[in-house]
Structure 1
Amino acid sequence: MSEIKLNAAQIELIKTLDLSLTVSQLETLYQQDELGKEDLITLLKVSNAAYRAGFPIIDDASYDAYHKQLQNVDPDNEFLAEVEPEVVVEGKTVTLPERMLSTDKAYSFDEIKRWINRILKAAEQLNIADDEIQIRVTPKLDGYAAYDDGERLYTRGDGYRGQDISRAFDRGLQVAGDAGRGLGPGEIVISQSYFNQVLSEHFENSRNIQAAIIAEKKVDENVQKAIDDGACVFYPFRALNNWTGSVEQLLTDFDEILASLWTAVDYDIDGLILETTHEMIKNHMGATRKFHRWQIAYKINAETADVEVIKVVPQTSRTGRVSPVAELVPTKLSGATLSRATVHHYNMVKSNGVGPGAIVRLVRSGLVIPKIEEVITPAKAELPEFCPSCETHLIWEADHLMCPNKTDCPAQTENTLIHFFKTLGNVDGFGPKVIEKISAHGIKHIHQIYQLTKEDFVAYGFGDKTSQNLIDQLAASRSIAIEDWRFLAAFGVSRLGAGNCERLLEHHSLADIFDVTVADMVQIDGFAQLSAEAIVEGLTNIKNEFFKVYQLGFNLTATEKLTAGGPSDSAIAGKTIVFTGSMQQGSRADMEKQAKLLGAKVAKSVSGKTDYLVTGDKVGANKINAARDKGVEVISEAEYLDLIAS
């Protein structure tokens, strides 16, 4: 195996596993060919924990190779019978309504045929005819395993005991396809297309998000929006698209079944699940402590090739992220000639030496897009300083190089226009298709849209009635009251989402924020040095366009300023509060805003760190009891009002 260097996120996770090894010793362990059973178990536990938490160290095939090695060294080892746990660091464990096991794996059609023969043998022992046997095949979702009994949602844990993560439903997590609650085992997953279009600039992979959805701490605002948009769902296995047919049909049409189900859902999958539907056979075959014998997962062996990099070309996406694309010596892999592959981000280019002359291992599994799995021979990396689309100086944001020029970068302008109207949220009509049509006629800036006439829209191909409606919507967007923080967030400055906009405007007026320095910004709670630097540079880039739009006369509601000394004197200063139910005094949003002004921290879900759960009308007893079990003080709206009045 090539050299492995653990990143910061992996190191932080490993610290929670209470290992006796140092980081360097663990990295060295991954390089060794001959390993004893204790070392193998350590690597399997660490690799599983990192994978489940969204920071994988090795790929599936390498993990299975370690697993096979342990079987050869110590076939009766207790670890081999254990279910690989979904890792959640915080929370109490509870008994699952029923056992949740792992799934045995097959990597070849011959292994599938051997599994089918075991099914047929069981049927023969039960005097069941072959034509009575049905096999159900579904996509194998690559998500976060969970169990929904209709009242609670549980992690899989060790297969016997998991953790109550019902808070995910409290946050708005939906069941896929409106399938309803209580359908048992499934996976928490996120839409591939949504991840690629919206979240890939914030998260390296979808597993980071799956873990964030169920975390006990406050949910990242980007993840919460994905939940609100219905992109994150709990997908019960019983509701999955499936092929069901006879053994003969399965063996005859296996490749066609594989191809059809591989693209059946808009979620990450890493294989297929095959199982017999015959209850007598299932009961007869039973399970080991780890697997159901009547079920198997088919995973495709990835083909690889070592390829030379010719050069790395930067490409600016609509979100401003500059993605490195490696141009390769043309190589045939899995039946296709490949000459380009996307490198995940420029930190990978920099840290791994992906440059001209580097030798990289290219992997392509089944229908999956080819990717660079590892760098075999590094070379000098070439990092761009300026955006290839607009020549703006690039900035680092986590692992990514970003173009901060949201308003004048040709690669970003269309997305900037879409983001503006979507974030304002006070009018309809200016969705992606309308913006695409307008952009095709040379409209690249927000203020230009507001200068358009009805005749312009007609000339662009819109109908007379639609054109008038668009003009009316533009007028409405200026007259309908919106918060100033929402208006600022609509310009899409990197690291300046809605939450940061509100925090910034609690200290500075909207017209003055362009004069705020990095030193000023880091004095505000929630702004770190790197974020402040990126925000200040981003604000500089949008300044001209911002004031052209601002001067159009929007009806903006100013954010209330935090006053020195006021909040710290309140009874809830520094306390963490969750509001739930229907409030009488005003909307929950208004109460949350008031609580922040009084110095409280407002959370969306209850955790062990919550001080008060403030309950309005129509709050379930289960939610209240769960909060009390965590030591949270539950108070009514009236009691809360008395508290802050004091």
Structure 2
Amino acid sequence: MTSSSTRHADPEENPYVEEPPTDFEPVAELSPEAAARQASLLRSAIREHDHRYYVDADPLIADATYDRLFERLRELEAAFDLPTENSPTERVGGEPLDALETVEHVAPMRSIDSAKEADAVREFDERVRRGVADAGFDPESVEYVCEPKFDGLSIEVVYEDGEYVRAATRGDGREGDDVTEQVRTIRSVPGRLRGDPPARLAVRGEVYMPRDAFEAYNEELAERGEEPFANPRNAAAGTLRQLDPAVVAGRPLDVFFFDVLAWDASGNDESAAARPDDHRAEFDAFDRFGLRRTDRVELVDDVEAAIDYRDRLMADRDDLNYEIDGVMISVNDRDARGALGSTSRAPRWAFAYKFPPRTATTTVEGVTVQVGRTGRLTPVAELDPVEVGGVTVSRATLHNPAEIEALGVNVGDRVRIYRAGDVIPYVPEVVEKRSAGTYAFPETCPVCDAPVERDGPLAFCTGGLGCPAQLERAVEHWARRDALDVEGLGPERVERLREAGLVESLPDLYDLSVADLADLEGWGETSAENLIDELEASRDPPLDRFLAGLGIPEVGSTTARALARTFGDLDALLDADEEALREVDDVGPAVAASIRGFLDAPENRAAIEGLRERGVEPQPVEAPAGDGAPLDGLTFVFTGSLSATRDEARALVESHGANATSSVSGNTDYLVAGENPGRSKRADADAEDVPVLAEAEFADLLAGHGIDWPPADGA
């Protein structure tokens, strides 16, 4: 069968994607050719890990493993003078999610160089002192601000004239997801600043879920029969990416602010609102403005005191009500920071001294095999509960059958549990063999009893949508807001429908009646009528949403939109071969094969035809083709907030023949800038001599082609 392949690196071809080795041969023993090959594999793998960490919030490896892969790539590039253009070492990893609007940051949100060894911190100090001396500063005057390195989700929050106007996730460092309404619900984020804030203030903060609140919230989830979060960071990240702010408001999030991204005092009393000269004083400004910050900030005058601070904080970490994974050490004086500058990825004036990973030893009491939406089987070790870094762990992933075989693990064995950052605990080794043999991975699906098929190190259920576990996940995916947007089909209700025998395939949704639903536990006539109304409203979906809802591997909303725009209607896509699919933007050979494999699978084709037989007919794209389209040949890029969402703006111009891209280039015809635009696209437009249109000018341009802006609802 066709499995879901990774976008940046195929785990079957790249050893650094799943369970990567980190014991590398000495750099001096490598030939230039071998170094270049290894660097190429590392770049691809790191891009995949960046995507899984920053975009999906579903990392494949532990933080410590990622750090070792990243450091190895940097070693190879430096030792062999390898080209670094577009290398992960020259950029902050990650891309914004398609499901939320994307906004540019007021200033870059860079990553921070890090290590777990004290000697690396001392080397950082030596570089700082050399750099400030070269810039004419007294190296003996260097002071460091030490503070906790929070393990949550980093955000940018912007205030204008003291009023909260915007919040965004870190994303790729230049752009992030617009979470303005979600962050607005966090009680510790002030809607208006106190004191004498500057005219415009952009601050960096960390959203997290307090430990005690996390434990209480997980208990609530368990009582409702829902899957609890693995740890507080996953809880915070998953909550902040919720599309419904009401959901966010119902969850116990909090925030610490810790850095200034931009401070513009123009237009205010500049003497009162002047930016402090050093970072420690900026924390005092946070107090004046009512911005919550940690009370564990210390100013030290040498690197040994910074190292001592880290050791003291590590001893206290289990007593804190929030997760931390190290400490931040940064130069205090802002002028000295400016002289030291930054690389494209990280500032030269800051360093993260990280804590060692947390481990414990316990016994495997059983193995549960879970079934995902694509049929992938994931074995999970059921453990004798053990405390790892202040958190009780009773389950740990075993990844896949190949990992079980490599470990030689079985029920009854004593194993080491590894937990670091936001990665679910996993088993790196068996420390005491107490069983005979290795756990025998099932040959049939534990849910539907269909045969299990191995694909390299992975295993898949071959039952397709006939497997109840895959069916439930498929129905939930179909109902997502960025797919068919059917309210009222959460996990509990989907499970109840399947258990009642009412939904045994995706098309069965459209056979449901109010009478079928009203008698089910937890339903009433009103909720039944509401769901039927929602399903009726989804019978004529746009083609791209229909495709996104099918759950085709590697096809999110952006790729679905590109497929719909290219082929125009469903039948043309169903008939397209891999060569035709590869002509679509962002569809390479692996994605084309994944699409074709999905559409050719009998159970998937039967589901599509069953939906159409029940009156679910995706609407063809009605964009005029070729020279007849009013905007044919034009390319637009959008930045800032507009009267409609940027997804709606892109869809509108594309429906009239234009292209809409995410970055400015020499091929861009117009950059449309709404309110609070980011700086990078404006700078790129200036560099490429691309005209910048205000929203009113954009509306005039469209009106000249007979197109209304903003678009009417549903347009």
- Matched-pair contact (CA < 8 Å) for 1:334–1:366: no
- Matched-pair contact (CA < 8 Å) for 1:311–1:356: no
TM-score (normalised: structure 1): 0.56
CA–CA separation in structure 2 for the residues paired with 1:51 and 1:372: 31
TM-score (normalised: structure 2): 0.51
Aligned: 1:236 with 2:297: no
CA–CA separation in structure 1 for the residues paired with 2:506 and 2:624: 31
Residue in 2 aligned with 1:560? Answer: 622
Q: Secondary structure at the match of 1:186?
A: strand
Aligned: 1:4 with 2:24: yes
Residue in 2 aligned with 1:548? Answer: 610
Give, in angstroms, the shift of residue 508 of structure 1: 5.7
Residue in 1 aligned with 2:474? Answer: 416
What is the aligned counterpart of 1:536 among 596, 604, 611? 596
Residue in 2 aligned with 1:270? Answer: 324
- Matched-pair contact (CA < 8 Å) for 1:312–1:355: no
Residue in 2 aligned with 1:637? Answer: 698
Q: Secondary structure at the match of 1:557?
A: coil
Q: Secondary structure at the match of 1:407?
A: helix
Residue in 2 aligned with 1:526? Answer: 586
1:305-337: CA deviations, max 9, x gaps? 699x99997532346443244689x89885999
- Matched-pair contact (CA < 8 Å) for 2:486–2:535: no
Q: Secondary structure at the match of 2:552?
A: coil
Q: Secondary structure at the match of 2:465?
A: coil
User: Closer, same or farther in 2 for the Cα pair 1:436/1:259, shift >3 Å?
Assistant: farther
User: Closer, same or farther in 2 for the Cα pair 1:360/1:258, shift >3 Å?
Assistant: closer
1:53-97: CA deviations, max 9, x gaps? 479xxxx999322x43674xx7972258999xxxxxxxxxxxxxx
User: Closer, same or farther in 2 for the Cα pair 1:492/1:190, shift >3 Å?
Assistant: farther
User: Closer, same or farther in 2 for the Cα pair 1:101/1:49, shift >3 Å?
Assistant: farther
Structural mapping, 1:394-543, within 5 Å: 407-423=465-481, 424-425=483-484, 427-442=486-501, 443-466=503-526, 468-470=528-530, 472-474=532-534, 476-478=536-538, 481-505=540-564, 506-507=566-567, 509-539=569-599, 540=601, 541-543=603-605
Give, in angstroms, the shift of residue 633 of structure 1: 1.9
Give, in angstroms, the shift of residue 369 of structure 1: 5.7
Residue in 1 aligned with 2:115? Answer: 63
User: Closer, same or farther in 2 for the Cα pair 1:188/1:601, shift >3 Å?
Assistant: farther
CA–CA separation in structure 1 for the residues paired with 2:316 and 2:648: 53
User: Closer, same or farther in 2 for the Cα pair 1:344/1:447, shift >3 Å?
Assistant: same
User: Closer, same or farther in 2 for the Cα pair 1:368/1:392, shift >3 Å?
Assistant: closer
CA–CA separation in structure 1 for the residues paired with 2:92 and 2:400: 22
User: Closer, same or farther in 2 for the Cα pair 1:233/1:626, shift >3 Å?
Assistant: farther
- Matched-pair contact (CA < 8 Å) for 1:494–1:534: yes
CA–CA separation in structure 1 for the residues paired with 2:349 and 2:44: 34
What is the aligned counterpart of 1:371 among 426, 432, 449? 426
Structural mapping, 1:175-324, within 5 Å: 175=183, 177=186, 179=189, 182=201, 184-187=203-206, 226=241, 236-237=257-258, 261-262=320-321, 269-271=323-325, 299=355, 302-303=358-359, 315-318=370-373, 320-324=375-379
Q: Secondary structure at the match of 2:638?
A: strand
CA–CA separation in structure 2 for the residues paired with 1:562 and 1:149: 43
User: Closer, same or farther in 2 for the Cα pair 1:463/1:525, shift >3 Å?
Assistant: closer
CA–CA separation in structure 1 for the residues paired with 2:538 and 2:166: 44
Amino acid in the other structure paired with 2:559: N
1:475-499: CA deviations, max 9, x gaps? 63256x4312212322212123233
User: Closer, same or farther in 2 for the Cα pair 1:331/1:228, shift >3 Å?
Assistant: closer
Aligned: 1:140 with 2:199: no
User: Closer, same or farther in 2 for the Cα pair 1:590/1:155, shift >3 Å?
Assistant: closer
Between stretches 146-155 and 409-418, larger displacement belongs to 146-155
Amino acid in the other structure paired with 2:493: V
Structural mapping, 1:570-589, within 5 Å: 570-572=632-634, 575=635, 577-578=637-638, 582=642
User: Closer, same or farther in 2 for the Cα pair 1:76/1:462, shift >3 Å?
Assistant: closer
User: Closer, same or farther in 2 for the Cα pair 1:227/1:644, shift >3 Å?
Assistant: farther
Amino acid in the other structure paired with 1:637: F
Task: Give ranges in structure 1 of 5+ residues lacking alignment.
Answer: 16-25, 84-98, 105-137, 157-162, 194-204, 214-222, 245-253, 276-281
CA–CA separation in structure 1 for the residues paired with 2:522 and 2:152: 43
- Matched-pair contact (CA < 8 Å) for 2:166–2:180: no
CA–CA separation in structure 2 for the residues paired with 1:492 and 1:342: 24
User: Closer, same or farther in 2 for the Cα pair 1:75/1:383, shift >3 Å?
Assistant: same
CA–CA separation in structure 1 for the residues paired with 2:209 and 2:658: 32
CA–CA separation in structure 1 for the residues paired with 2:143 and 2:592: 45
Aligned: 1:611 with 2:668: yes
CA–CA separation in structure 1 for the residues paired with 2:684 and 2:348: 35
User: Closer, same or farther in 2 for the Cα pair 1:303/1:641, shift >3 Å?
Assistant: closer
CA–CA separation in structure 2 for the residues paired with 1:421 and 1:626: 40
CA–CA separation in structure 2 for the residues paired with 1:429 and 1:558: 27
Q: Secondary structure at the match of 1:184?
A: strand
Q: Secondary structure at the match of 1:444?
A: coil
- Matched-pair contact (CA < 8 Å) for 2:128–2:349: no
Amino acid in the other structure paired with 1:559: V
User: Closer, same or farther in 2 for the Cα pair 1:607/1:321, shift >3 Å?
Assistant: farther
Amino acid in the other structure paired with 1:63: A
Amino acid in the other structure paired with 1:78: R
Q: Secondary structure at the match of 2:378?
A: strand
Task: Give ranges in structure 2 of 5+ residues lacking alignment.
Answer: 1-20, 26-37, 48-67, 96-111, 133-141, 191-199, 215-230, 259-285, 297-312, 341-346, 707-715
CA–CA separation in structure 2 for the residues paired with 1:168 and 1:567: 32
Residue in 2 aligned with 1:199? Answer: none
CA–CA separation in structure 2 for the residues paired with 1:599 and 1:206: 45
CA–CA separation in structure 1 for the residues paired with 2:168 and 2:392: 45
Give, in angstroms, the shift of residue 458 of structure 1: 2.9
CA–CA separation in structure 2 for the residues paired with 1:550 and 1:512: 15
Residue in 2 aligned with 1:87? Answer: none
Amino acid in the other structure paired with 1:303: T
Q: Secondary structure at the match of 2:614?
A: coil
CA–CA separation in structure 1 for the residues paired with 2:546 and 2:676: 33
Q: Greater RCO between the two (CA within 8 Å, min separation 6)?
A: 2
- Matched-pair contact (CA < 8 Å) for 2:417–2:425: yes
Q: CA RMSD in A?
A: 6.6
CA–CA separation in structure 2 for the residues paired with 1:580 and 1:556: 31
Residue in 1 aligned with 2:127? Answer: 78
User: Closer, same or farther in 2 for the Cα pair 1:413/1:260, shift >3 Å?
Assistant: farther
Aligned: 1:103 with 2:146: yes
- Matched-pair contact (CA < 8 Å) for 2:325–2:354: yes
Sequence identity (%): 20
Between stretches 512-521 and 233-242, larger displacement belongs to 233-242
CA–CA separation in structure 1 for the residues paired with 2:551 and 2:115: 40
CA–CA separation in structure 2 for the residues paired with 1:507 and 1:600: 16
- Matched-pair contact (CA < 8 Å) for 2:664–2:685: no
CA–CA separation in structure 2 for the residues paired with 1:315 and 1:478: 31
Give, in angstroms, the shift of residue 577 of structure 1: 2.9
